[in-house]
Amino acid sequence: MGVSDCPYFCELVEQRRNSEQIQNTSFDKLKVWTGSKINDLFDAWNMADIIIIEVLYNTSLSWADLFVLSQLQHIADLSFYYLFNTIETGRVITGCLLILLKSYSYRIFSTNHHSGPIVNDIMENIQKLMKNDSMGRKAKIYSGVV
């Protein structure tokens, strides 16, 4: 199976990018700090990620102090929220996870029969969530000792 963009997910992202909420958000400070052109929240998210990673590796500029980092984290959080807070994007992402889990479960089950039941249970729960048949549960917690 090849890797490619999901056209429907790309369409959903573009709808969010063009939404009034995203268009009305100002990133003037980020533009001044970085000297880069920031068109929307997703450009800001990309820039925030770069700066946060630079800070983690001690390669950031002197202006990236705690205040700036808190603002950048806020931008990253907003971007994530606006992108993934809709039912449609949630379903697309859940579908992608289901495909990955099926592939993963096949590999595990074919080499180690002890891992099959828990992976199958996880897949069944994801399918129930996708069909809105989860009996009101939003999460299931697994616990075990290795």
Q: Is residue 146, in this structure, part of any structural domain at all?
A: no
Looking at the fold, whether 78 and 92 belong to one and the same domain comes out as no
Domain of residue 93, residue span: 87-130
Give the dihedral of Cα atoms 63, 66, 71, 72; nearest 10 deg. Answer: 70
- Structurally, the chain folds into a number of domains equal to 2
pTM over 0.95: no
Structure confidence by residue, pLDDT tens digits, 95-141: 666 666 565 555 544 444 444 677 677 777 777 776 777 676 667 77
Q: Is residue 101, in this structure, part of any structural domain at all?
A: yes
Domain boundary residue among 84, 100, 121? 84
Q: Is residue 145, in this structure, part of any structural domain at all?
A: no
Residue-level pLDDT at 111: 46
- Residue 33 in contact with residue 68, Cβ under 8 Å? yes
Looking at the fold, whether 38 and 95 belong to one and the same domain comes out as no
- In single-letter form, the type of residue at position 38 comes to I
DSSP state letter for 38? -
Q: Is residue 12, in this structure, part of any structural domain at all?
A: yes
Looking at the fold, whether 125 and 95 belong to one and the same domain comes out as yes
Q: What is the mean pLDDT of residues 5-16?
A: 79
Question: Has residue 67 got a pLDDT over 80?
Answer: yes
Residue 101 C-beta-side C-alpha neighbours within 13 Å? 19
